[in-house]
C-alpha cells in the first residue's frame, strides 16, 4: 500500500482518460477549424486543451510530452492572437501533434513513461518553423501545390510517413476571408461555433441534424463552408453571445456532452460526472426487476382499494426511472460520426482523392455497447469506400462525374433496428471482377459461380480471404476486410447488405438491433404464441370479413394476393410462415391482416388476431437462435410473458422472395386442392422403390455436381447457398442399394430451413402429385412412416425428422412431418382401414 | 479432454433426473434451480430449443437434452436448471432436481464402452453412486453442440 505511488497512479490514470477525450475533441476541432479558420472560439478551445495537456504533463514529469505540447501551444497562441493564419499545412502539423501525443499516452499507459522511441525532432522543428508568419506559403512554390512528394522533400524526413502531408494551397485559407483581413479579423462569424457543436448549436435543424465536412486536397479555395452566406463580409458583432445562446435551449444533453464541456469553461464541467459502466449495468438490471415487481403488484391494484393512488404514483415513478436509466446507456451516433471527418481527411490526402463527406442522423441514439461494437466495422467500411470505391479525381472527371466523390453516412431508426447506411458515388462493385477474384482465390468453383446471381456474387466479398484491391494498401485490402466487418456486425445480431451499381456507386446497409431501446410494437397472436411487430414497420391494420375475404384475396398459382385499394400486395400467412399448417381460407369467416413494409416493399401478413400495441424492450436471442431470420429478438411483455419480435424483412425474404416453393405457396396449394388431399413429391430410390415427401416440407429441388460433395466428420455435405447442407442418401436410410450420383449428377431435395436444412439424395425426382393420403402402417420402418398409394403404386412416406437425423440435423419440431399437419386425416385414414 | 483427468477439482455435483437417467452438473456452473414457469415456444427453432422463459426480466433459452441423450420426449419437464454461458443464459429442462452430491473420486469412470456416440458427445464421465450411475454432463460440449446447430445454418444469404 504505497500511499504516494497509488495516488500518483490514480492521477496518471485520470490524466490519461481525460487526455484521450481531449485529443478526440482536438481532432474534431482542428478539422472544423481548417474549414473555418477565423473562429476564435475554436482556436481558444484548442489552445486551452493543448495548454492543459502541457501543464499536466509537466506536473507529472513527462518531459518529452511537455516539450512537444509546448511547441504546439506556441504555434496555437500565435494563431489565436491572429498573428498567423491556419492553413492546411499548419492543420496537418497540429493533427500530427495530436497523433504523437496520443501515441505517447498509449506508451505511458503501457509502461509508465513517455519514452516511446518516436523521433519528434522533425515534427517539433516544423511546429517551430510554422510559427513564422507566411512560412508555409513562402516555403512552397505554387507549382508544388497538391504534390505530396515535394512537400515531403522540403520538410525533410517525415516522422509520420503515413499521413502524407499536403502542400498548402497558395490561396488564402478560406474564401471567406479576404487576404490581409484574416490575420487581424477580430471576431469569429457565427457559423464557427455552430459547427463546433453540431448537436447543441444548431437550433434550426434539430432532428435531421447534418454535419458536412469537406476534406479535399484543394485546388484553389479550400472550400465554401456550406453556411457561408450567414457570414457576410463584415464580421457579425457580438459573436460570443450567438455562439453560447443555443446551449440553454438543449438542456437534455446529459452525459454525452461531457467531452465538449471543457471548452465552455468549468461551469459546464460541473454538470456531468463519470460513472462506471458496470454500475450503470447493475442499475439497469435492478430497475428491470423493479419494473417487473411493479407489474405484478399492478395486477392486484384493485385489492389495494384506497391505496390505489399511491400505487399509481409508484407505478409512474418506476416508469420514469426506467426510462431515465435506459437513457444513461444511450448515446448518439454522433459519437461515431465525429471521428469520421478526421479519418476521411487523412485518407483523402493519402490516396490523393477528393471527398465530400455528409453525415446525417447523428442524433439517432444507440446503446453504448452497440455503438462500441460498430465503431471498427464502420471505420473499415469508410476506408474501403475511400480506397476502392471513390475514384481518383482525374478518373472521375474523365467519366463525367464531379471531381470530388461523395460519401454520405446516415443513421436512422427503422422497424426496431438502427440502420446505418453508407453510400458512395464511386466505381461500385463489378460482379465480374469479384467472380474472377473469387475463382482465383479458389473460394468458389466455376460451376458454383455460374449458378450464382449477381447479388450472390457481390456477396462473395464477405467471404474470408477475399480482397479485391488490385494493389494491397496499408489501409484496406489486407484480406481481412469485409468478412470481419460482417462477423463483427453479426455478433451483435446485425446484418450487412451490399447494393452496388458498377460505375455508379455502392451502398452498404448495416442493420443493428437497438438492444436496450424501447420501441412501440404491435402485438399479434398466432396459434398459442404472441408476436411483436415493430410499429415502425406497420402501415395499417385491416380486418377482412364476409365477401371482402373472397373478393379482395385471390390465389394466383398458389400465392395469395391481397387487393388493398387497387394495390396488389402479396399476402403471407404468419402461421404458415412459422411452420404451422393453416386451414384453407375458405373455412375462415374473417381474417386479420397487418400491412407491413420491409425494405420499401409492402406486403400483407395474415395473423390469427391482433392484440394491441405495447412499448417493448428489444432483447437479443441466444446464439443458437440467431440464424432464424424470422425473428429480430424477443421481449418481455407487461404480464411477464415472453414474445418473439418478428423481423419483417426476414419474413418477406422467406415468403416472397424465395424463388422455389415458398411457405405461402405451399399452404395454399393445399387449400386449392381440396379436402384430404396432399401434395407429394415422389422420388425414385434404388431401381424401383418409390418414396414420397410432403411438398410443404420441400424447400427446393436441385441437381448438384456429385464431385462437390465433401466429408465433414462422418457426414457428407455440400456447400449450398453459402452454408453447408448435410446430405442423406435415401437408399442408406431405407436399405435399398442406390446408385445416385453415378452419372456425376445428384438429384437433391432440399428440405427445411436454416439449421434444419437437409438434402435428400434420391436416384430420380419423379413427380409432384395431389393425392388423398391414406397411410398404411404396413411399410413402417426406419425413416418411413408408412405406405400409401400414389398414382396406383405403393409409395413409402418419408419420416423427415428421422431421416434428417441421419445427417445429424435436428429438424425443427414445427416442421415435423406434415402429417402432423393433418393429424385427423391420418387417424381417420388409419381407422378406416 | 477435461473430464478424463478425473474429478479431483470438482467434487460437488447438482443432480437431476432426465427420463430414466441421473445426470449431474458441476455445481459451480449452476446459477439457480427453479420450477418451470410459463414458456414461449419458438417456431422454426432447432429441436433442442423448447422455448423462452422470463427469468426476472432476462430471457432464458430452455434446452431439452433428451433427444441428444436418446431419451423419449413424451414426459413433461417441469424443473429448470439455469446455467449462465455468456452472453446467453440457458435453462436445462429436467424432470426433477435431486440432491447436490459429493461422490468419491474413486468412483469415477470414463463413459463406458457401448454408450452411443451422441451421448458421449455431451457426457464427460460417470460416477458409480450407490445403486445408480451418475452421468456427468460436459456443459462446454453441450454449448458447442448448440453452436454447431447455428453454424449449420451458416451465413444467411442476403
CATH number of residue A750's parent domain? 2.40.50.180
- Band (pLDDT 50/70/90 cuts) for residue B15 is very high
CA distance B113 to chain A (A): 19
On whether both A341 and A320 belong to a single domain, the answer is no
| Domain boundary pick from A478, A512, A546 | A512
Instruction: Provide the CATH number for the domain around residue A393.
Output: 3.30.565.10
Report if residue A755 sits inside a domain: yes
The whole-number pLDDT of residue A415 equals: 59
**At the fourth CATH level, which superfamily is domain B10-152?**
CheA-289, Domain 4 (2.40.50.180)
CA distance A813 to chain B (A): 6
Nearest to A578 among B39, B43, B48 (CB): B43
Residue A52 CB: number of other CB atoms within 10 A?
17
Report if residue A691 sits inside a domain: yes
Sequence-separated (6 or more) residues with CB below 8 Å from residue A35: A174, A195, A213, A214, A222, A223, A225
The whole-number pLDDT of residue A643 equals: 94
Instruction: Check whether B24 has a pLDDT greater than 90.
Output: yes
The whole-number pLDDT of residue A188 equals: 40
Supply φ then ψ for residue A797, to 5 degrees. -95, 125
In chain A, the residue whose alpha carbon lies closest to the alpha carbon of B55 is A640
Instruction: Mark the ranges of chain A whose per-residue pLDDT is less than 50.
Output: 1-4, 137-268, 469-480, 516, 657-675, 812-833
On whether both A780 and A640 belong to a single domain, the answer is no
On whether both A342 and A317 belong to a single domain, the answer is no
Determine, for residues B57 and A643 on separate chains, whether the beta-carbon distance falls below 8 Å: no
On whether both A424 and A450 belong to a single domain, the answer is yes
Region B139-143: mean pLDDT is 87
Nearest to B150 among A292, A530, A626 (CB): A626
Determine, for residues A289 and B57 on separate chains, whether the beta-carbon distance falls below 8 Å: yes
Where in chain B are the domains?
A: 10-152
In chain B, the residue whose alpha carbon lies closest to the alpha carbon of A458 is B158
CA distance B145 to chain A (A): 9
On whether both A612 and A488 belong to a single domain, the answer is no
On whether both A317 and A422 belong to a single domain, the answer is no
C-alpha cell at A584: 384453407
- Report the SS3 class of residue A538: strand
Q: Rounded to the nearest 5 degrees, what angle is found at the Cα of A805, between the Cα atoms of A698 and A491?
A: 80
The whole-number pLDDT of residue A237 equals: 41
Nearest to B59 among A634, A755, A814 (CB): A634
Report if residue A250 sits inside a domain: no
On whether both A320 and A340 belong to a single domain, the answer is no
On whether both A734 and A816 belong to a single domain, the answer is yes
Determine, for residues B57 and A285 on separate chains, whether the beta-carbon distance falls below 8 Å: yes
On whether both A562 and A590 belong to a single domain, the answer is yes
Q: How many Å apart are CA B14 and CA B136, to the nearest integer? A: 10
The whole-number pLDDT of residue B77 equals: 86
Please give the tally of structural domains in chain A: 5
Report if residue A224 sits inside a domain: no
CA distance A634 to chain B (A): 8
Which has the higher per-residue pLDDT, A819 or B110? B110
Select the residue from A459, A697, A755 to test the B interface by mutation, using most B Cβ atoms within 10 A: A755
Q: Are B79 and B97 in contact (CB under 8 A)?
A: yes
Contacts of B157 in chain A (CB under 8 A): 456, 459, 721-722
Beta strands in A132-242 (DSSP E): 210-214
Q: Are A519 and A429 in contact (CB under 8 A)?
A: no
Report if residue A191 sits inside a domain: no
Determine, for residues B49 and A624 on separate chains, whether the beta-carbon distance falls below 8 Å: yes
Express the helix, strand and coil content of chain B in percent, nearest 5 each.
Answer: 20, 40, 40
Report if residue A87 sits inside a domain: yes
Contacts of A285 in chain B (CB under 8 A): 57
Determine, for residues A643 and B40 on separate chains, whether the beta-carbon distance falls below 8 Å: yes
The residue segments making up the domain with residue A781 are 675-832
Contacts of B54 in chain A (CB under 8 A): 636, 640-642
Instruction: Check whether B113 has a pLDDT greater than 80.
Output: yes
Task: Identify whether A702 is preceded by a cis peptide bond (ω within 30 of 0).
Answer: no
On whether both A6 and A152 belong to a single domain, the answer is yes
Q: How many Å apart are CA B147 and CA A552, to the nearest integer? A: 45
CA distance A529 to chain B (A): 7
Q: How many Å apart are CA B22 and CA B97, to the nearest integer? A: 10
- Band (pLDDT 50/70/90 cuts) for residue B51 is very high
Residue showing cell 448448440: B146
Q: How many Å apart are CA A195 and CA A143, to the nearest integer? A: 32
- Report the SS3 class of residue A79: helix
On whether both A493 and A538 belong to a single domain, the answer is no
The B132-137 sheet, strands edge to edge: B96-101, B13-18, B21-26, B132-137, B123-129, B108-109
Of A518, A496, A782, A754, nearest to A636 (Cα)?
Answer: A518
Of A101, A767, A630, A444, nearest to B42 (Cα)?
Answer: A630
Amino acid at each position: 500500500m504505497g500511499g504516494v505511488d497509488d495516488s500518483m497512479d490514480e492521477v496518471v490514470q485520470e490524466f490519461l482518460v481525460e487526455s484521450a477525450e481531449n485529443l478526440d475533441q482536438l481532432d474534431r476541432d482542428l478539422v472544423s477549424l481548417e474549414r473555418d479558420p477565423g473562429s476564435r472560439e475554436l482556436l481558444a478551445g484548442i489552445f486551452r486543451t493543448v495548454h492543459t495537456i502541457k501543464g499536466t504533463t509537466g506536473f507529472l514529469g513527462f518531459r518529452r510530452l511537455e516539450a512537444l505540447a509546448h511547441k504546439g501551444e506556441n504555434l496555437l497562441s500565435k494563431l489565436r492572437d491572429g498573428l498567423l493564419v491556419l492553413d492546411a499545412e499548419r492543420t496537418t502539423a497540429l493533427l500530427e501533434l495530436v497523433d504523437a501525443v496520443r501515441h505517447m499516452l498509449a506508451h505511458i499507459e503501457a509502461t509508465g513513461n513517455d519514452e516511446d522511441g518516436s523521433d519528434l525532432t522533425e515534427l517539433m522543428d516544423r511546429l517551430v518553423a510554422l510559427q513564422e508568419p507566411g512560412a508555409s506559403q513562402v516555403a512552397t512554390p505554387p507549382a508544388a501545390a497538391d504534390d505530396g512528394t515535394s512537400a515531403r522533400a522540403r520538410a525533410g524526413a517525415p516522422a509520420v510517413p503515413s499521413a502524407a502531408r499536403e502542400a498548402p494551397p497558395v490561396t488564402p485559407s478560406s474564401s471567406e476571408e479576404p487576404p490581409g483581413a484574416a490575420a487581424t479579423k477580430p471576431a469569429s462569424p457565427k457559423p464557427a461555433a455552430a459547427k463546433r457543436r453540431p448537436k447543441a448549436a444548431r437550433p434550426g435543424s434539430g432532428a435531421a441534424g447534418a454535419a458536412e465536412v469537406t476534406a479535399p486536397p484543394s485546388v484553389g479555395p479550400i472550400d465554401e463552408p456550406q453556411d457561408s452566406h450567414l457570414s457576410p463580409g463584415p464580421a457579425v458583432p457580438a459573436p460570443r453571445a450567438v455562439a453560447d445562446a443555443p446551449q440553454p435551449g438543449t438542456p437534455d444533453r446529459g452525459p454525452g456532452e461531457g467531452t465538449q464541456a471543457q471548452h465552455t469553461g468549468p461551469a459546464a464541467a460541473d454538470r456531468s460526472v463519470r460513472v462506471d459502466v458496470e454500475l450503470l449495468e447493475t442499475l439497469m438490471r435492478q430497475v428491470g426487476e423493479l419494473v417487473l415487481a411493479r407489474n405484478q403488484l399492478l395486477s392486484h391494484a384493485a385489492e389495494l382499494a384506497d391505496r390505489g393512488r399511491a400505487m399509481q404514483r409508484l407505478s409512474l415513478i418506476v416508469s420514469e426511472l426506467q426510462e431515465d436509466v435506459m437513457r444513461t446507456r444511450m448515446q448518439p451516433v454522433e459519437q461515431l460520426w465525429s471521428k469520421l471527418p478526421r479519418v476521411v481527411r487523412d485518407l483523402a490526402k493519402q490516396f490523393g482523392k477528393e471527398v465530400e463527406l455528409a453525415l446525417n442522423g447523428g442524433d439517432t441514439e444507440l446503446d453504448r455497447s452497440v455503438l462500441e461494437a460498430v465503431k471498427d466495422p464502420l471505420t473499415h467500411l469508410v476506408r474501403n469506400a475511400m480506397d476502392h470505391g471513390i475514384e481518383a479525381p482525374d478518373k472521375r472527371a474523365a467519366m463525367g462525374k464531379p471531381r470530388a466523390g461523395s460519401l454520405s453516412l446516415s443513421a436512422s431508426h427503422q422497424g426496431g433496428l438502427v440502420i446505418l447506411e453508407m453510400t458512395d458515388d464511386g466505381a461500385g462493385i463489378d460482379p465480374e471482377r469479384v467472380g474472377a477474384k473469387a475463382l482465383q482465390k479458389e473460394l468458389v468453383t466455376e460451376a458454383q459461380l455460374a449458378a450464382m446471381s449477381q447479388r450472390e456474387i457481390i456477396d462473395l466479398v464477405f467471404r474470408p480471404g477475399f480482397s479485391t484491391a488490385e494493389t494491397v494498401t496499408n489501409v484496406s485490402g489486407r484480406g481481412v476486410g469485409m468478412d470481419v466487418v460482417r462477423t463483427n456486425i453479426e455478433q451483435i445480431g446485425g446484418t450487412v447488405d451490399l447494393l452496388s451499381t458498377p460505375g455508379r456507386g455502392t451502398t452498404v446497409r448495416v442493420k443493428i438491433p437497438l438492444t436496450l431501446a424501447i420501441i412501440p410494437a404491435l402485438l399479434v397472436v398466432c396459434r398459442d404464441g404472441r408476436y411483436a411487430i415493430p410499429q415502425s414497420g406497420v402501415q395499417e391494420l385491416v380486418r377482412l370479413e364476409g365477401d371482402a375475404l373472397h373478393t379482395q384475396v385471390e390465389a394466383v398459382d398458389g400465392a395469395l394476393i391481397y387487393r388493398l385499394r387497387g394495390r396488389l400486395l402479396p399476402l403471407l400467412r404468419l402461421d404458415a410462415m412459422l411452420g404451422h399448417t393453416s386451414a384453407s381460407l375458405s373455412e375462415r369467416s374473417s381474417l386479420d391482416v397487418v400491412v407491413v413494409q420491409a425494405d420499401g416493399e409492402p406486403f400483407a401478413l395474415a395473423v390469427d388476431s391482433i392484440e394491441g400495441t405495447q412499448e417493448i424492450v428489444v432483447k437479443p436471442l441466444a446464439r443458437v437462435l440467431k440464424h432464424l431470420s424470422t425473428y429480430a429478438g424477443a421481449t418481455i411483455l407487461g404480464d411477464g410473458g415472453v414474445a418473439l419480435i418478428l423481423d419483417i424483412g426476414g419474413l418477406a425474404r422467406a415468403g416472397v422472395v424465395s424463388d422455389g416453393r415458398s411457405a405461402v405457396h405451399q399452404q395454399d396449394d393445399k387449400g386449392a386442392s381440396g379436402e384430404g388431399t396432399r401434395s407429394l413429391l415422389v422420388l425414385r430410390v434404388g431401381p424401383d422403390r418409390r418414396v414420397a415427401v410432403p411438398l410443404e416440407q420441400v424447400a427446393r429441388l436441385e441437381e448438384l455436381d456429385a464431385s462437390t460433395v465433401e466429408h465433414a466428420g462422418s457426414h457428407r455435405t455440400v456447400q449450398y447457398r453459402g452454408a453447408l447442407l448435410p446430405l442423406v442418401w435415401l437408399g442408406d436410410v431405407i436399405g435399398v442399394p442406390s446408385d445416385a450420383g453415378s452419372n456425376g449428377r445428384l438429384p437433391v431435395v432440399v428440405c427445411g430451413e436454416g439449421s434444419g436444412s437437409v438434402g435428400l439424395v434420391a436416384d430420380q425426382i419423379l413427380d409432384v402429385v395431389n393425392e388423398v393420403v391414406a397411410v398404411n402402417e404396413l411399410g413402417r420402418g426406419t425413416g418411413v412412416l408408412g405406405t400409401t398409394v400414389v398414382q396406383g403404386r405403393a409409395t413409402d412416406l418419408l419420416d423427415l425428422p428421422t431421416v434428417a437425423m441421419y445427417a445429424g440435423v435436428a429438424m425443427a419440431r414445427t416442421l415435423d412431418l406434415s402429417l402432423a399437419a393433418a393429424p385427423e386425416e391420418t387417424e381417420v385414414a388409419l381407422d378406416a382401414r | 479432454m477435461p473430464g478424463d483427468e478425473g474429478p479431483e477439482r470438482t467434487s460437488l455435483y447438482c443432480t437431476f433426473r432426465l427420463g430414466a437417467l441421473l445426470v449431474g452438473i458441476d455445481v459451480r456452473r449452476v446459477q439457480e434451480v427453479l420450477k418451470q414457469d410459463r414458456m414461449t415456444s419458438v417456431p422454426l427453432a432447432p429441436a433442442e430449443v423448447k422455448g423462452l422463459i422470463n427469468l426476472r426480466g432476462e430471457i432464458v433459452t430452455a434446452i431439452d437434452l433428451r433427444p441428444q441423450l436418446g431419451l423419449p420426449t413424451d414426459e413433461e419437464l417441469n424443473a429448470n436448471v439455469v446455467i449462465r454461458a455468456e452472453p446467453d443464459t440457458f435453462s436445462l429442462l429436467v424432470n426433477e432436481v435431486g440432491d447436490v452430491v459429493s461422490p468419491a473420486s474413486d468412483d469415477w469412470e470414463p463413459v463406458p464402452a457401448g454408450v452411443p456416440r451422441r451421448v458421449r458427445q455431451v457426457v464427460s464421465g460417470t460416477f458409480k453412486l450407490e445403486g445408480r450411475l451418475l452421468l456427468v454432463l460436459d456443459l462446454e460440449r453441450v454449448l458447442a453442440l448448440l453452436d454447431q446447430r447455428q453454424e449449420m445454418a451458416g451465413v444467411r444469404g442476403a
